Amino acid sequence: MKSWVFLPPLFVCSAAGVAALLDVLLARNPSLDQDLSLSVPLLFGFAAGLALFTASHVRWNFRWQRRGLRFSYPLLMVACALATDGLQLPVVAALTAGPVGAVLLAALLVRAYRDIPECARA
């Protein structure tokens, strides 16, 4: 369950890092002291979808977790997406958090893949 909770924030960090890297690489005058404009509805919408679609693979410890967290956590992200229009983030912060988030996300996914029984892998 902890992996499921960390999956959407790690996705958002990695996506912000990729956006910052593309911004620096494709800008005419790249500068690390500029701000990066992120679409919060798009990022948190994808994160909410990721949480909602992966909730069926979680081993819930208690019934209240399955009933409460399974839908309230993605709905919280949708509420964040609807409440915030855009986010200004320093490029340096996105370039720092992005690779860390991507590495942790890859480690989380590899660990989750190893936990799947051999007969269930496609």
End-to-end CA distance of the chain: 23
Q: Which residue segment(s) compose the domain that 31 sits in?
A: 2-120
CB atoms within 10 A of CB 34: 16
Q: CA nearest 81: which of 108, 111, 106, 46?
A: 46
pLDDT digits (tens, 9 = 90+) for 42-66: 888 899 888 888 887 777 777 777 7
Instruction: Work out how many domains the chain is built from and give that number.
Output: 1
Q: How far apart are CA 65 and CA 93, in angstroms?
A: 33
Confidence band (pLDDT; 50, 70, 90) for 73?
confident
pTM score of the predicted model: 0.79
Strands (E) in 6-105, as ranges, are 35-39, 86-90
